[in-house]
């Protein structure tokens, strides 16, 4: 080894290297010299790449894994390789560091003396112990303190020189340059360009600043300290006020003042403007104005002519009057188009009325109407039109007054597809209008024509359905399974060729027209039939050839619909399919088998048979024949279906045995406005079977709400008098129904009260007390929601159905014949559902408004007058009337009174004082006078109740009718509940009640 060394001169790496070679057997001197020569020597560790824990136990209680028995672990069944033993799991570097951290936290807690720790951690790299996990978190936070990072995108670093400019929406503005000056645009001629551009001169201060010749002047008391090359610190005492002293001037020397240089003023030249040349504007020459022809003034209406006429002019029938078809002796009126709709498919022409007489007006406008129709027929190809006259008429009424009115007379709809149709239909329409005017005058009681207000012709485009030449079938029905034969014809007689193929069928080449087919058509009768054949001409073909012809249409996507179903009853029948549209024409196709064609639409796999009258499908021909016996379209009457033999009909409406809680009883009173009667016509055919002589208008109503269970919940009697009585009645009834519904929901909801004895009966009962069937396991306790008492065991569904109804019946006496007409005039103003059970178009058995109100007629249960029904009652039966009146009052009101309906033709007559005379009680409906005893009773009632006006008598009469009706129907309800266990308020008539009662 070399001589002595100074250890302070060696680096740490050199010392470590010398320490590593002390025990080495190699040449030590050579290695020492090499280490000492290199000052930057670095030691190479012998254990590089090896774990320092290799071959050593890391913890005291760690088990040697080599001594443990290895448990075989099988590969899953879905593993594609072979089965075998998986290798033993080993620590990863990350888990090894975790295990050291767990042990460190455990030892730290032991050092602190924490109780409740496990005896050892067992070399685990994770644990469920709460204390150890908290200590691990504390150690990790000390070593790696968490820095709270702000959420979101980090802000950009701000630069001092950078100024943040907010972004503006839209297109960025153009960059402005210093030399560019934005000059606002001016309208008109642009100014001249200035050639001499003045350059701004620099000031002295700006020049010294650019040349860096500015000297800093500081106060004299300031302290200047140098801090570096070219750097100084100036300290100024701001508390002292600076004093500025002028420089001292030597004696005898004048102070220096700057001498200004003489200013040279240059003469300013003004630019000479150029001469402006003015161009002469050429004014446009106006076009000559064309004057439109002015129509002649209208003839004034002779307003007072009706008073001068004393005799009715003789009206000549149209058959006797000769109409000039060309109107050569009369001046033709003007016409113009006033309205167009649907892109010209509908137009209206107005013809100026030049004459007061409708005959002259129609004759003079004959050629005008013909010209209009001819022009529109050329444009449309086919049209329908009507002609209308608006005639001003007057007649004398009572007291020398004159009544005027405008009446419209419209002709029948005429159809024109060629020019010959125009002549025939136009002449016929004129005769129709004149005939209707004459009929109105004869039946209108001396109406006189004053003048004609307007004359219109309404025209609409018409394209009749007709066949044409050959047209290919749509692809979806071109299959032979549809049963269609499309013959190839090159003319418009496709209808006739289909008729020929139907009578002369061919198995091969059925779509080709052969010579035999041309010979066979001579057997058919098509005389007078125009081709292509229209739908309206098929009736003639059926009669001439004794065959039923039905036509179907096609919408596309295998959707067929009937166009014409034959109503004739011939043995032979022909079915055709009409294809095409109005643009390309239409084409008839022979239907070989209707069943195949219609069945191709459905998804039914088997063959079906269809009724040609109603298109009802049947599974076989036998079923189809039975269907024809009961088909409504064939027989004209509804089919009757009887129940099968051995079947039984059972009562199912158990809910109807529950009494309706609330019923409203009501009645109307009306004023009878007289109408002027029409004179009888001499022609019995024109005479009407209806004679209008009165109009009934509701002037008042009264109603009473009755509760079946407890009278304290019944409503008070309500009445109203006014011209809008029907409307106010409906509003009042709707509010009353809502009140009844609230009462049912609040009061009639008592909980069940059951005794131990009834509970034992419930467990033993075998049959439902509602329907009577066996209960089995489906049983519930049924109770009365009004009283809360237990009623018996029942099925769950029976219990749910057997409950109080929330519908409120409104009962009228003779609702169908009288009161229903008054209600229907105002019921349309309510946005509520109206369901009607009609007897015919005018009379209704019952109808409902909304979900709560049901109007029924008591006369449908008791077909008698209210007076006859009351006469059968004993005084104990009048429960409602008995509470309202007592003693003598009760005896007077329990009898049906009389009322002067004919006298009350105006609502103002209710203010009449005193009872009207006996003559005013006459009834024109029954054509009889009031009896003396009835009039005496009315007089007695008037005196007893101390009445002053007819209003008092009217109110008592109305209230008596309502309360008597309530007593009569309530007594009928009690009788039915005792006898049949059914409430008539659930039904609309006696037949429906008797059906359930039987």
Question: Considering the domain boundaries, does residue 933 fall inside one?
Answer: yes
Range of the domain at 362: 335-461
Helix (H) or strand (E) holding 450: strand 448-461
The pLDDT, as a whole number, for residue 728 is: 93
Question: Do residues 708 and 752 share a domain?
Answer: yes
The pLDDT, as a whole number, for residue 70 is: 57
Tokens of 300: 């004034």
- What domain count does the chain have? 3
Question: Considering the domain boundaries, does residue 934 fall inside one?
Answer: yes
The pLDDT, as a whole number, for residue 664 is: 95
Question: Considering the domain boundaries, does residue 496 fall inside one?
Answer: yes
Question: Considering the domain boundaries, does residue 609 fall inside one?
Answer: yes
Kind of pairing between the strands at 808-812 and 853-857: parallel
Question: Do residues 622 and 510 share a domain?
Answer: yes
The pLDDT, as a whole number, for residue 322 is: 44
Low-confidence ranges of the chain (pLDDT < 50): 1-2, 47-49, 53, 58-62, 77-89, 298-327, 467, 582, 685-686
The pLDDT, as a whole number, for residue 58 is: 47
Asked which of 397, 428, 461 is the last residue of a domain, the reply is 461
Report in angstroms the alpha-carbon separations of 361 from 337, 806, 981.
Answer: 19, 66, 75
Question: Do residues 667 and 622 share a domain?
Answer: no
CATH number, position 446: 3.30.1490
Tokens of 903: 């006298």
For the chain, the maximum distance between any two Cα atoms, rounded to a whole number of angstroms, is: 172
Backbone angles phi, psi at 790, to 5 degrees: -75, 130
Contact call for residues 666 and 811 (beta carbons, < 8 A): yes
| DSSP labels, 248-300 | P--TT-PPP-PPPPPPPPPPPPPPPPPPPPPPPPPPPPPPPPPPPPPPPPPPP
> pLDDT digit string (tens) for 759-814?
999 888 989 988 888 888 888 999 888 888 898 999 988 888 888 888 999 999 99
Question: Considering the domain boundaries, does residue 861 fall inside one?
Answer: yes
Backbone angles phi, psi at 987, to 5 degrees: -115, 170
Please choose, from the candidates 310, 313, 428, 417, the residue with its C-alpha nearest in 3D space to the C-alpha of residue 366. 428
The pLDDT, as a whole number, for residue 1 is: 46
What is the number of H-type helices and E-type strands within the chain? 25, 24
Question: Do residues 453 and 490 share a domain?
Answer: no
Contact call for residues 441 and 447 (beta carbons, < 8 A): yes
Kind of pairing between the strands at 402-410 and 346-351: unpaired
Question: Considering the domain boundaries, does residue 646 fall inside one?
Answer: no
The pLDDT, as a whole number, for residue 827 is: 86
Question: Do residues 440 and 387 share a domain?
Answer: yes
Question: Considering the domain boundaries, does residue 562 fall inside one?
Answer: yes
**DSSP annotation of 480:** G
Report in angstroms the alpha-carbon separations of 898 from 343, 585, 873.
Answer: 65, 73, 19
532 upstream amide cis, omega within 30 of 0: yes
For residues 822 and 816, what is the distance between their CA atoms, to the nearest angstrom?
11
Question: Considering the domain boundaries, does residue 687 fall inside one?
Answer: no
Question: Do residues 542 and 666 share a domain?
Answer: no
Question: Do residues 720 and 782 share a domain?
Answer: yes
- Angle, to 10 degrees, between the axis of helix 950-979 and the axis of helix 932-944? 110
Question: Do residues 865 and 928 share a domain?
Answer: yes
Contact call for residues 595 and 604 (beta carbons, < 8 A): no
Question: Do residues 909 and 942 share a domain?
Answer: yes
Q: How far is CA 868 from the centre of its chain?
A: 53
Question: Do residues 595 and 446 share a domain?
Answer: no
Question: Do residues 612 and 664 share a domain?
Answer: no
Question: Do residues 860 and 753 share a domain?
Answer: yes
Q: Could you give the angle at the alpha carbon of 276 between the alpha carbons of 270 and 282, nearest 5°?
A: 165
Instruction: State the CB neighbour count (10 A cutoff) for residue 548.
Output: 17
Length of the chain measured in residues: 998
For residues 688 and 216, what is the distance between their CA atoms, to the nearest angstrom?
127
Give bridge partners of residue 753 from the DSSP assignment. Answer: 789
């Amino acid at each position: 080894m070399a001589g002595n060394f100074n250890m302070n001169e060696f680096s740490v790496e050199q010392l470590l290297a010398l320490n590593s070679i002390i025990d080495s057997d190699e040449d030590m001197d050579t290695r020492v010299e090499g280490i000492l020569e290199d000052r930057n020597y670095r030691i190479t560790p012998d254990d590089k790449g090896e774990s320092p824990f290799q071959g050593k136990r890391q913890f005291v209680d760690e088990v040697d894994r080599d001594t443990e028995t290895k448990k075989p672990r099988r590969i899953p069944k879905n593993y594609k390789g072979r089965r075998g033993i998986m290798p033993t799991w080993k620590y990863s570097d990350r888990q090894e560091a975790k295990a050291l951290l767990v042990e460190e936290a455990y030892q730290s807690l032991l050092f602190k003396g924490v109780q409740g720790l496990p005896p050892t951690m067992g070399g685990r790299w994770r644990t469920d112990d709460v204390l150890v996990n908290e200590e691990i978190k504390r150690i990790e936070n000390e070593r790696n303190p968490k820095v709270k990072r702000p959420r979101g995108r980090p802000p950009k670093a701000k630069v001092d020189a950078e100024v943040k400019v907010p972004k503006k929406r839209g297109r960025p503005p153009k960059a402005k340059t210093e030399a560019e000056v934005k000059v606002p645009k001016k309208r008109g001629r642009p100014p001249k360009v200035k050639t001499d551009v003045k350059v701004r001169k620099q000031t002295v201060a700006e020049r010294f600043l650019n040349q860096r010749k500015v000297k800093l002047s500081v106060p004299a008391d300031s302290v200047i300290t140098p801090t570096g090359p070219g750097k100084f610190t100036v300290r100024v005492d701001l508390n002292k006020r600076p004093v500025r002293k002028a420089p001292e001037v030597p004696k005898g020397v004048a102070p220096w003042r700057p001498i200004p240089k003489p200013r040279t003023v240059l003469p300013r030249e003004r630019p000479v403007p150029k001469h402006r040349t003015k161009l002469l504007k050429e004014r446009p020459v106006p076009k000559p104005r064309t004057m439109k022809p002015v129509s002649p003034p209208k003839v004034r209406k002779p307003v007072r002519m009706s008073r001068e006429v004393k005799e009715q002019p003789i009206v000549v029938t149209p058959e006797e009057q000769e109409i000039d078809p060309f109107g050569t002796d009369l001046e033709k009126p003007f016409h113009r188009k006033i309205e167009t709709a649907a892109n010209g498919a509908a137009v209206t022409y107005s013809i100026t009325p030049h004459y007061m007489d409708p005959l002259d007006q129609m004759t003079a406008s004959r050629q005008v109407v013909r010209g209009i129709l001819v022009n529109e027929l050329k444009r449309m190809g086919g049209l329908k039109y009507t002609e209308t006259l608006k005639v001003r008429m007057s007649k004398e009424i009572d007291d020398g007054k004159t009544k005027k009115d405008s009446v419209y007379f419209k002709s029948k709809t005429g159809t024109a597809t060629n020019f010959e149709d125009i002549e025939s239909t136009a002449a016929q329409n004129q005769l129709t209008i004149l005939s209707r005017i004459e009929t109105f005058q004869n039946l209108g009681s001396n109406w006189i024509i004053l003048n004609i207000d307007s004359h219109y012709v309404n025209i609409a485009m018409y394209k009749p359905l007709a066949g044409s030449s050959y047209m290919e079938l749509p692809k979806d029905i071109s299959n032979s399974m549809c049963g269609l034969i499309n013959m190839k014809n090159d003319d418009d007689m496709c209808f006739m060729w289909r008729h020929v193929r139907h009578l002369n069928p061919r198995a091969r080449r059925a779509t080709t027209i052969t010579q035999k087919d041309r010979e066979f058509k001579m057997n058919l009768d098509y005389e007078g039939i125009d081709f292509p054949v229209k739908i309206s001409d098929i009736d003639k073909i059926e009669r001439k050839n004794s065959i039923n012809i039905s036509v179907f249409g096609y919408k596309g996507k295998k959707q067929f619909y009937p166009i014409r179903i034959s109503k004739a009853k011939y043995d032979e029948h022909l079915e055709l399919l009409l294809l095409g549209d109005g643009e390309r024409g239409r084409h008839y196709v022979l239907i070989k088998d209707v069943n195949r064609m219609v069945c191709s639409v459905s998804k039914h796999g088997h063959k079906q048979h269809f009724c040609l009258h109603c298109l009802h499908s049947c599974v076989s021909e036998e079923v189809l024949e039975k269907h024809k016996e009961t088909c409504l379209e064939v027989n004209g009457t509804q089919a009757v279906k009887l129940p099968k033999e051995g079947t039984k009909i059972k009562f199912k409406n158990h809910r109807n045995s529950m009494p309706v809680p609330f019923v409203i009883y009501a009645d109307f009173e009306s004023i009878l406005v007289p109408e002027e009667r029409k004179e009888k016509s001499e022609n019995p055919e024109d005479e009407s079977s209806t004679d209008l002589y009165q109009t009934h208008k509701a002037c008042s109503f009264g109603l009473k709400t009755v509760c079946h269970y407890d009278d304290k919940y019944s409503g008070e009697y309500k009445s109203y008098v006014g011209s809008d009585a029907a409307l106010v009645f409906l509003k009042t009834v709707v509010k009353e129904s809502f009140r009844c519904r609230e009462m049912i929901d609040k009061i009639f909801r008592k909980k069940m009260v059951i005794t131990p004895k009834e509970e034992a009966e419930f467990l033993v009962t075998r049959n439902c007390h509602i329907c009577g069937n066996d209960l089995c396991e489906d049983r519930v306790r049924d109770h009365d929601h009004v009283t809360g008492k237990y009623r018996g065991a029942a099925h769950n569904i029976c219990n749910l159905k057997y409950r109080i109804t929330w519908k409120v019946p409104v009962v009228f006496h003779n609702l169908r014949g009288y009161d229903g007409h008054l209600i229907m005039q105002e019921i349309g103003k309510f946005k509520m559902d109206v369901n009607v059970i009609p007897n015919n178009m005018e009379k209704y058995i019952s109808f409902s408004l909304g979900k709560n109100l049901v109007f029924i007629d008591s006369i449908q249960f008791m077909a008698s007058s209210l007076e006859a029904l009351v006469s059968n009652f004993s005084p104990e039966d009048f429960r409602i009337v008995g509470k309202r009146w007592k003693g003598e009052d009760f005896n007077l009101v329990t009898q049906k009174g009389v009322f002067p309906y004919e006298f009350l033709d105006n609502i103002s007559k209710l203010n009449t004082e005193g009872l009207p005379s006996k003559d005013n009680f006459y009834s024109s409906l029954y054509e009889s006078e009031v009896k003396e005893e009835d009039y005496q009773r009315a007089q007695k009632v008037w005196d007893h109740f101390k009445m002053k006006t007819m209003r008092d008598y009217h109110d008592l009469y109305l209230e008596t009718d309502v309360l008597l009706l309530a007593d009569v129907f309530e007594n009928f309800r009690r009788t039915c509940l005792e006898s049949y266990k059914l409430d008539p308020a659930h039904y609309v008539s006696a037949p429906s009640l008797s059906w359930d009662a039987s």
